[in-house]
Amino acid sequence: MHVHILGICGTFMGSLAILARELGFRVSGCDENIYPPMSTQLEEQGITLFHGYDPKTLDPAPDLVVIGNAMTRGNPAVEYVLDQGLPYVSGPEFFSRYVAPGRWILAASGTHGKTSASSMLAWILEYAGMSPGFLIGGIPKDFGISARLGSTQFFVIEADEYDTAFFDKRSKFVHYQPRTLVINNLEFDHADIFDDLGAIQRQFHHLVRTVPSTGRILFPANVPAIDQVMAMGCWSEQETLAGEQSPWQTEKVTESGNHFRVLYRSVTVGTVLWQQEGDHNMANALAAIAAAHHVGVLPDVACAALSQFQGVKRRMELVDEVGGVRVYDDFAHHPTAIATTLAGQRALLGDDANIRVIIEPRSNTMKMGVHQETLVAATAKASEVIWFEPQGLDWPLAQCVANTSPVKALVMDSTQAIVRYLADTANAGDHLLVMSNGGFEGIHARLVSALNEKYQAAQ
């Protein structure tokens, strides 16, 4: 069977392509943006890639076309599929039809932390000898790949609330049929498709409705947005996390959160000493430990696994260190994620550390200015912020920064200017943290290159 994927280099669709290949299908696909690491990952799996959406790539006709949610009417490949009457499905429907049957699906959902929590959970199951399959919107360093089928019934998936396809406006996750469900947190996001928080909550309740009565839903205690979803009706087992009356809790050993204890029903059941930091990562870890417990992994085994967890690419990933200047890459794209990441770094590095943050407001929600007031305020733990102002921003970034920034801040409309400024002013001991959910014009590598030139010239 030949499967052709439109939008194959997206994080979800690329991972789906890998699963389809493992299932024995012949897989090809096309995309406008074909670049590493996804393109390399796909080519290594024997998947044929085409640049652009020329209908000729659909002749001879594949047996099935999988259409990514970035595809719209008017796209030449989409129009050809419809005109020719070719059979097509969305990515999540393909997963539901060909991957999910017969598997115990463990899903990690929420506004933040889905990639990290699902990566932690997959690694815990792997460490425990359960050889899980997984589909994750990032690349866990412990596996070096974003998806695989695994060799047992257990399958971990990052459950995204974004819509499914141009012909299916339900959230992706309603297709996944989880038996173990984590809801990490719930805030307003994706303003391009959701009118308000209530619209997102309705989709989360659709997800809750799909969990069987013998399944389990895990969520943090005392989060009103989640409590309201659960109050709409729940027919499954429930366990809360991190509340005073919750069965699952954490207790810090160090302020940064890189060392903490895990308690189950008020008894210490394990200790995690790991490479991560921050309250957000402790919350992700607790959710992963509790989810793994649902499929039989003892908490002390889960804690031992996380103590070896290497993290996820683009989640506070150290890109390089040049002349004592460290350059990091982080995927944060929401005020809460930015604030919690910076709080974790400040706790780890100390009050005197020079944390210089470079932020690209790239997501649709950021560009629309929905979070403009909280976005600028979220940088309070930084030493300095350099804001990139892209074309098409729908709100006055420079004015907001000038009026409300809690720290020293600059606004620039050129990545070349940002690289030059940072290379000229960086000193040993600086931490340059780049925050974007896109490629950001390759600014990470360009920063490293500019720093290398500076320090080579100085020698």
Neighbouring CB atoms inside 10 A of 11's CB total: 18
Place of tokens 């309201």: 228
Q: Return the sign of the alpha-carbon dihedral for residues 369, 370, 372, 375.
A: negative
Instruction: Show the tokens assigned to 459.
Output: 């020698």
pLDDT, position 215: 98
For 121: left if phi > 0, alpha if psi spans -120 to 50, otherwise beta; the answer is alpha
Contact 65, 53 (CB under 8 A): no
Q: Are strands 317-322 and 267-273 parallel, antiparallel or unpaired?
A: unpaired
**Does 108 lie in the same domain as 81?**
no
The predicted structure's pLDDT at residue 368: 62
Instruction: Please indicate, yes or no, whether residues 252 and 114 belong to a single structural domain of this protein.
Output: yes
Beta strands per DSSP E along 294-352:
317-322, 325-330
The phi, psi pair for 264, rounded to 5°, reads -125, 120
Under 8 Å CB-to-CB from 275, ≥6 apart: which residues?
258, 309, 310, 311
| Residue-level pLDDT at 159 | 96
Question: Do residues 35 and 441 make contact, with C-beta atoms less than 8 angstroms apart?
Answer: no
Total domains, the chain: 3
**Domain check: are 280 and 383 in the same one?**
no
Indicate whether 87 and 184 sit together in one domain.
no
Do 51 and 191 lie in one domain? The reply is no
**321 and 453 inside one domain:** yes
Residue 25 DSSP symbol: -
Residue 330 lies in a domain: yes
CA atoms within 13 A on the CB side of 389: 14
- CA angle 440/446/450 to nearest 5° reads 145
178 falls within a domain = yes
pLDDT means per 10 residues in the chain (459 residues)?
Answer: 94 93 96 78 88 95 96 97 98 97 97 91 97 92 91 96 94 96 88 85 97 98 96 97 95 92 97 90 96 98 96 79 89 78 85 92 66 82 90 80 88 90 91 85 87 79
Is 175 among the domain residues? yes
Residue 237: per-residue pLDDT: 97
The dihedral built from the CA positions of residue 373, 378, 380 and 386, taken in this order, carries a sign that is negative
Backbone angles phi, psi at 318, to 5 degrees: -75, 115
Residue 435: per-residue pLDDT = 87
- Best CA proximity match to 398, nearest among 417, 411, 416: 411
* 78, HSE (Cβ side, Cα atoms, 13 Å): 16
Helix (H, G, I), strand (E, B) or coil at 130: coil
- 83 and 183 part of one domain: no
Please give the biggest Cα pair distance in the chain.
67
- The DSSP secondary structure of 152-163, one letter per residue, reads SSEEEEE---SE
Q: What is the CATH number of the domain that holds 341?
A: 3.90.190.20
- Orientation angle between helical segments 224-231 and 197-210, nearest 10 degrees: 50
Which tokens in the block code for residue 369? 């200015």
- Residues 250, 217 within the same domain: yes
| 329, burial (CB in 10 Å: exposed 0-12, middle 13-18, buried 19+) | buried
Which CATH number characterizes residue 21's domain? 3.40.50.720
**Residues 146, 13 share a domain:** no
Around Cβ 201, how many Cβ atoms within 10 Å?
Answer: 18
Within-domain flag for 165: yes
Residue 311 in domain: no
Given the DSSP bridges, would you call strands 216-220 and 180-183 parallel, antiparallel or unpaired?
A: parallel
Q: State phi, psi for 161 to the nearest 5 degrees.
A: -90, 0
Going across the sheet that includes 354-359, the strands are 317-322, 325-330, 430-435, 354-359, 384-388, 408-412
Provide DSSP, 267-284: EEEEEEE-S--SHHHHHH
> According to DSSP H, which parts of 96-155 are helical?
114-127
| pLDDT at residue number 459 | 67
pLDDT at 151: 95
Give the domain-ending residue among 93, 115, 134: 93
Same domain, 181 and 133: yes
For residues 294 and 377, membership in a common domain is answered with: no
For residue 192, what is the domain's CATH number?
A: 3.40.1190.10
Beta bridge partner(s), residue 3: 27, 64
Residue 2: its pLDDT value, please? Answer: 97
68 within some domain: yes
- Measured CA to CA, the distance from residue 63 to residue 40 in angstroms comes to 25
Question: Is 430 inside a domain boundary?
Answer: yes
Q: How far apart are CA 233 and CA 231, in angstroms?
A: 5
Answer yes or no: do 179 and 286 share one domain. Answer: yes
Report the 10 Å Cβ neighbour count for 226.
22
Q: Tell me which residue range forms the domain holding 357.
A: 317-458
- Assess if residue 312 is contained within a domain: no
Q: Write out the two tokens for 3.
A: 């499967």
